[in-house]
Structure 1
Amino acid sequence: MINAIVQSDDTWMLWGILAVWASISIFLEQKYKWASVISGAVIALLGALILSNLNIIPSASPVYDAVWTYLVPLAIPLLLFNINMRELFQESKKLILTFLICATGTVIGSSIGFFLLKDYIPELAKLSAAIAASYIGGGVNFAAVTARFEPSSEMVSATVVADNMVMAAMFALFMLIPSLLFFKNRFNTPHIDELERGRVNKEETLAAEYWRRKEISLKDVAASIGTSFFLVVLSFKLADFFDRVIPGDENTSGIVVFLNGVLGEKYLLLSTLTFLFIYLFPHYFNKIKSGQELGTYLIYIFFVVIGAPASIPLIIEKAPLLILFVSIVGLFNLGIGLLFGKLFKLDLEHIVLASNATVGGPTTASAMAIAKGWRNLVGPILVVGTLGYIIGNYIGFLLGHWFLIF
């Protein structure tokens, strides 16, 4: 691989590029209708993908890891401060069915992809299991299943490269589908319709309308950031504690493993504690006015990071057939979701968010809900998306043992 112009350890330069491009993406989305249709999230992702493949920025860096490790957890509570708890439960119930349908699509896609390509890709039985677990839960599940079946490090690395590229492409597709008349005319779109009805100035882009200027004080900013830090620290420390004291290995009972998955999962506990505090102290959180703006900006930096690892030369070098396999899994996930979503009259917003949550995890799905202005779905998809962390490993293990027979 050719070294990038900006080195992976050039911390200030990389942070600058992430922050500036996130800002430009937001500006374009709110200024121009073409950008609003594409969405600022996709602009952010594509910009990073182009910079990465032109070898201007590296495809991997500790700076990107820091965004996943620090900015995303801080953004989650900020975006939940003003949530409607009644709507949270209503939307969560609807999303669970949709999520399970998309997860079923992952299982079908993994099976079809395996039987089509098992003679052409080494160790595909093990890798298929890991991708299936990942496209139901997330990277944590991928790591757990690969640790169980132990494919070679070279094949794991190639699979990660293919996964990064497909996830970036799928994310762009998720963002595009709700904007297309073909889908809007064939599915229920209550959240999109609500945004359209609430518009005052039709000349403005939807993003500009949604993010209209409002009064925010220094006290609001202090309360938002301070409270978010408090909730992240409390949740992560408690999750680490529960993960240590509750066994989570394969030799313990299913109930104990389930408890470990629920209480030891940082993002699930973060969402749960945030909801609990909002329920107990509604007046405090209702007064905070800057949480959504601050959290959304952090999420746009996250969008930029999603695009950076998708190195096309690396894929051509290491994973041309693996990208086909992962694409089959991702497209069956979305396709099954759309097919049965139409059959069961599910909302289009629920389908694309649930598919996003299985493919990319609850963080990318909640980020999409934010970018689209579907504020009542941010909390529910975070909660439902974490279900994949719990069931992903079990499904991956079962598929792996089945595939190994062949």
Structure 2
Amino acid sequence: MENSLIKPDDYITLWGIIVVWAAMSIYLEQKYQWAARVSGAIVALVGAIILSNTGIIPIESPVYDAVWAFIIPLAIPLLLFHVKFKKIFKESGRLLFIFLISSIGTVAGTILSFFLLKDKIPYLDKIGAMMSASYVGGGVNFAAMAAKFEPPGEMVSATVVADNLLMALYFVVLMLIPTLAFFRKRFSHPHVLEVEKQTGENENSTLAEGYWKRNNISLKDIALSVGTAFLLVIISFKAAEWLGSIIPSGEDVSFLLNLINALFGDKYLILTTFTFTALALFPKYFESINGSQELGTFLIYLFFVVIGVPASIPLIIQNAPLLLVFVAIIVLVNMIVSLVGGKLFKYNLEEILLVSNANIGGPTTAAAMAIAKGWKNLIGPILVVGTLGYIIGNYIGTTLGLWFGIIM
């Protein structure tokens, strides 16, 4: 806004604020327990809301558009580079099945929640796309769906606030469940029993700091990570543009053709598919690159800062309560389907809770829970399986978003 202390065309200052606050959010999350509990994403978001609502930074600027146009597409392949497909099927086959059952819970919850609230919350078709993708994958899928369906910025911010508040509450529930007699009687829990045999362990750092250990990253790693990500973005976006132009669409063609056009002309879906294909074809190349997950995660933190900027606090107060109900229904159905499916197929309680966590919060939060609980044998497999959500999340979000859009 023109009244803001920093003007919309003061690009270097605005870029500096976004990058510095993203860095501070990561630092606080890894340094202090309160920030780790809240999550760095919320710290980044709330800081941006304060800066924009107090008139320090403008609500609109080409700098924010650049984050949507360039930063998010780069983050998607970077966060997928560390996926090891052989491990998904070899080491984590058991978890993979229950993860997919949990994903069905997310889809069912989103559909139920949409039909219950579609007349009460505006842009719920777009929000449903974002949340279903996010609650199968993670923040990168939320970002991709937000960029694709383009809901108003204030609705994105309100959704993020509701989502993160609900996730924080759900993680507390997930941490408590293994301590409750009701669940212990009905599910096997070998990892809990193994930990209970050991005496107290000291935790000198936050979970975030423990997970993001110092990595051996070279100049070549940075060059190959960024260079490969840019190459995949260029090829994918050009391919999507070409496919979108040759597949018929519009009011005078069938729904099926419109759906095919939307899927194959979607630059984020094509980017996900091309990255997936590259990983399958050149696994050794991607395994040799260190630091891509760190770079991708940092870029996503820039996104969290930017989506907080257009948030109007009065609008969030108006919209977040109903949005909280919307996401709560999705999470509740996911938990019920995960527990019932896990019980039916004789999964351990720890495995069920971790895959539900991986769906709702992403693989890193699931790994953080496994670390916190001392379930050491499940840390690697849940990280591997949880990354599958990054791959399928965009497909689920796009399909549901297009369907919801027809109904709205």
Give the drift of 1:293. Answer: 1.8
SS in 1 for 2:387: helix
Query: Does residue 101 in structure 1 map to residue 109 in structure 2?
Result: no
Mark the CA change 1:102 to 1:262 in structure 2 (over 3 Å): closer, same or farther.
Answer: same
Partner residue in 1 for 2:346: none
Task: Say which of 134, 150, 161 aligns to 2:154.
Answer: 161
SS in 2 for 1:347: helix
Mark the CA change 1:378 to 1:354 in structure 2 (over 3 Å): closer, same or farther.
Answer: closer
Which deviates the most, 336-345 or 86-95?
86-95
Partner residue in 2 for 1:76: 76
Task: Say which of 106, 110, 116 aligns to 2:114.
Answer: 110
Query: Does residue 341 in structure 1 map to residue 338 in structure 2?
Result: yes
Letter matched to residue 3 of structure 1 = N
| 2:99–2:355 Cα contact (<8 Å) kept | yes
- Matches of residues 224-243 of structure 1 in structure 2 within 5 Å? 224-243=225-244
| 1:28–1:40 Cα contact (<8 Å) kept | yes
Task: Say which of 372, 381, 402 aligns to 1:393.
Answer: 402
| 2:363–2:383 Cα contact (<8 Å) kept | no
Query: Does residue 384 in structure 1 map to residue 392 in structure 2?
Result: yes
Give the drift of 1:213. Answer: 1.9
Give the drift of 1:163. Answer: 4.8
Partner residue in 2 for 1:351: 356
Give the drift of 1:102. Answer: 2.5
- Matches of residues 232-271 of structure 1 in structure 2 within 5 Å? 232-271=233-272
- Matches of residues 9-158 of structure 1 in structure 2 within 5 Å? 9-88=9-88, 90=93, 94-113=98-117, 131-132=127-128, 135-136=131-132, 138-139=145-146
Mark the CA change 1:34 to 1:323 in structure 2 (over 3 Å): closer, same or farther.
Answer: closer
SS in 2 for 1:215: coil
| 2:128–2:400 Cα contact (<8 Å) kept | no
Letter matched to residue 383 of structure 1 = I
Give the Cα separation in 1 of the matches to 2:82 and 2:391: 16
Give the drift of 1:16. Answer: 0.8
Give the Cα separation in 1 of the matches to 2:99 and 2:353: 11
- Matches of residues 232-381 of structure 1 in structure 2 within 5 Å? 232-315=233-316, 320=318, 322-345=319-342, 347-352=352-357, 354-355=359-360, 375-377=383-385, 379-381=387-389
1:179-209: CA deviation from partner (whole Å, max 9, x where unpaired): 5533564789x9x99xx9xxx9731222222
| 1:88–1:376 Cα contact (<8 Å) kept | yes
Mark the CA change 1:236 to 1:214 in structure 2 (over 3 Å): closer, same or farther.
Answer: same
Mark the CA change 1:291 to 1:111 in structure 2 (over 3 Å): closer, same or farther.
Answer: closer
Give the Cα separation in 1 of the matches to 2:176 and 2:286: 39
SS in 2 for 1:214: coil
Consecutive unaligned residues of structure 2, counting only runs of 5 or more, are 134-144, 196-200, 343-350, 370-378
| 1:235–1:266 Cα contact (<8 Å) kept | yes
Mark the CA change 1:248 to 1:135 in structure 2 (over 3 Å): closer, same or farther.
Answer: farther
Query: Does residue 206 in structure 1 map to residue 211 in structure 2?
Result: no
Query: Does residue 177 in structure 1 map to residue 181 in structure 2?
Result: no
SS in 2 for 1:212: coil
1:45-92: CA deviation from partner (whole Å, max 9, x where unpaired): 222222233232233333222212211111121222221103556566
SS in 2 for 1:344: helix
Mark the CA change 1:21 to 1:107 in structure 2 (over 3 Å): closer, same or farther.
Answer: same
Mark the CA change 1:55 to 1:19 in structure 2 (over 3 Å): closer, same or farther.
Answer: same
Mark the CA change 1:114 to 1:240 in structure 2 (over 3 Å): closer, same or farther.
Answer: closer
| 1:38–1:175 Cα contact (<8 Å) kept | yes
Which deviates the most, 59-68 or 9-18?
59-68
Give the Cα separation in 1 of the matches to 2:320 and 2:206: 35
1:146-177: CA deviation from partner (whole Å, max 9, x where unpaired): xxxxxxxxxx86xx634531332313432553
TM-score, scaled to structure 2: 0.74
Give the Cα separation in 2 of the matches to 1:52 and 1:33: 26
SS in 2 for 1:343: helix
Give the Cα separation in 2 of the matches to 1:56 and 1:208: 31
Q: C-alpha root-mean-square deviation of aligned residues, in Å?
A: 3.6
- Matches of residues 212-223 of structure 1 in structure 2 within 5 Å? 212-223=213-224
Give the Cα separation in 2 of the matches to 1:130 and 1:294: 28
Letter matched to residue 344 of structure 1 = G
Partner residue in 1 for 2:347: none
Mark the CA change 1:397 to 1:51 in structure 2 (over 3 Å): closer, same or farther.
Answer: same
| 1:78–1:292 Cα contact (<8 Å) kept | yes
Give the Cα separation in 2 of the matches to 1:35 and 1:22: 13
Letter matched to residue 171 of structure 1 = N
**Percent identity over the alignment?**
37
Consecutive unaligned residues of structure 1, counting only runs of 5 or more, are 118-123, 144-155, 357-364, 401-406
Give the drift of 1:333. Answer: 1.9
Give the drift of 1:353. Answer: 5.1
Give the Cα separation in 1 of the matches to 2:64 and 2:206: 30
TM-score, scaled to structure 1: 0.75
| 2:21–2:44 Cα contact (<8 Å) kept | yes
1:213-272: CA deviation from partner (whole Å, max 9, x where unpaired): 232221111111111111111111111111111124354345433432332222222122
| 2:355–2:366 Cα contact (<8 Å) kept | no
